[in-house]
Amino acid sequence: MLGLGLEREESETKKMDFFEERLGAFKQGERPNGADELAARRVWAMASDGEFLSAEERAFCKVVFTAREKKEKEEKEIPLPSRDWSCNVNLDVATEIVDELYQNLPAWKPKIDNLRGRAFELKDWDKTSDTTKKEYGKRLAAIDKEIQEERYTDTDIICKLLATVHLKSRSSFYLERAIVQRWAKMNGREELFKLINSIPEYAKIKKRFGERVIFTSPRTKERQRTEISPQIVATLMQELPNTKNQQFAPFVLLLSGARLSELPSVKIFTNSDGSCVIKIDTAKLGCARKGAAKTRRIEFAAGSTEAKQLAAIAAKCGQKPFAAMNCATFRSNFRAAKKRLEKEYPKMKQLDIHSFRHAFATQQREKIANKYKEKHGADWRSNEKLSAAARDELAKLLGHNDRKVTGRYGQKPAPKST
């Protein structure tokens, strides 16, 4: 057939039938395909650059070549933003970055950024946990609604991500980027997916904007280093509802360092000698797959105040006191309780549920440091192997597989203002 190559031996009748059929299809709205383009190029070359073409052949080539030129123009054309982003981002710098992305798109190659020393790439949706899918589902629905209502072009979406770099920390940018990239993949927006993947790393964009790189926002650091006193814990326990043992959650979070999603899995074991053990199932499947223990345990010595209080909770509420608790409901109740207490306790404003995990890490880091000091002397930190072993101990208690992530935990509380 002619679509697979024009041979001189083919009859003129067969040729004309082909061209008439395809021209009729074009009139019906069908677009030229790859076979049409190949046929047009061959017939044009065989007729000495179109000099000896029939009317049908010339009309056929004109439709195909015009469609090709239009497609190339559309691929190179940068869609203008539908929203004014001048309040959120430096437009001059943003325009330069967007131009570079579109110019490099035809020669696009997959690129992996480095985040905290690890390769950053979009996770396989099928391998994510149900909890992660649920959380991502909410964010995807929100971004889909925003894009549809605001009628964002691809350029708008890139500007939105650049504005995230300008206004927020690195972790916020990578989270936003992953959400938008997953939205593009789920909606078949291949070109947008490639554009997002080609965006430079966070630090490079910050430098283009002439700004300092923010690895963790000041508010997040403040929350991470908030000192949680026994008085704050006791006050929160009184303010929280007693349904499904929610009032005991702040105390157990502080003693165990559990993530909120791990709280329903917490088990309290009381031994015959009076000691106590908390066991937690790691909720982050990625950590468990990459080397972190699937279950971790925190031990409390016999006769200690913590062991006695945990034993009392286990006796009253059972071995799994939070098994029936809904994490979203607890988060809502925690925020409401915190808001009611903010006037009396100003520190409550910078407190969140994850702050208990950081406070636990601070306590454990001090205990580990004292243990190593007694065993190896005051200068034990100068020994690289001992320092690494201490960090590994803390990582094990927190359920981390990456020691660099553990380094963000256990920082000293923020200095008190005078």
| Predicted pLDDT of residue 216 | 61
Distance from C-alpha of 143 to C-alpha of 139, rounded to nearest angstrom: 6
| Predicted pLDDT of residue 87 | 80
Residue 110 has pLDDT above 60, yes or no: no
Residues 24-50: what's their mean pLDDT?
78
Residue 2 has pLDDT above 50, yes or no: no
pLDDT-wise least confident of 5-9, 26-30, 272-276? 5-9
Express each pLDDT in 334-349 by its tens digit: 999 999 998 888 878 8
**287 pLDDT tier (thresholds 50, 70, 90):** low
Express each pLDDT in 130-145 by its tens digit: 777 888 888 899 999 9
Global pTM reads: 0.59
| Predicted pLDDT of residue 215 | 63
pLDDT-wise least confident of 38-52, 101-115, 295-309? 101-115
Express each pLDDT in 57-75 by its tens digit: 888 888 888 887 776 666 5
Cα–Cα nearest to 202, from 97, 340, 323: 97
Residue 299 bridge partners (DSSP): 277
Between 254 and 116, where is the model more confident? 254
Q: Which amino acid is at 52?
A: F
Q: How many Å separate Cα 362 from the centre of its chain?
A: 26
Between 92 and 111, where is the model more confident? 92
In contact, 168 and 214? CB cutoff 8 Å: yes
Residue 267 has pLDDT above 90, yes or no: yes
Residues 90-104: what's their mean pLDDT?
82
Residue 224 has pLDDT above 50, yes or no: yes
In contact, 169 and 217? CB cutoff 8 Å: yes
Residue 199 has pLDDT above 50, yes or no: yes
What backbone phi and psi angles, to 5 degrees, belong to 214? -110, 105
CB under 8 Å to 42, separation ≥6 — which residues?
Answer: 5, 6
Distance from C-alpha of 98 to C-alpha of 8, rounded to nearest angstrom: 49
Instruction: Look at the alpha carbons of 72, 74, 80, 81 in this order and tell me if their dihedral is positive or negative.
Output: negative
Residue 313 has pLDDT above 90, yes or no: yes
| Predicted pLDDT of residue 75 | 56
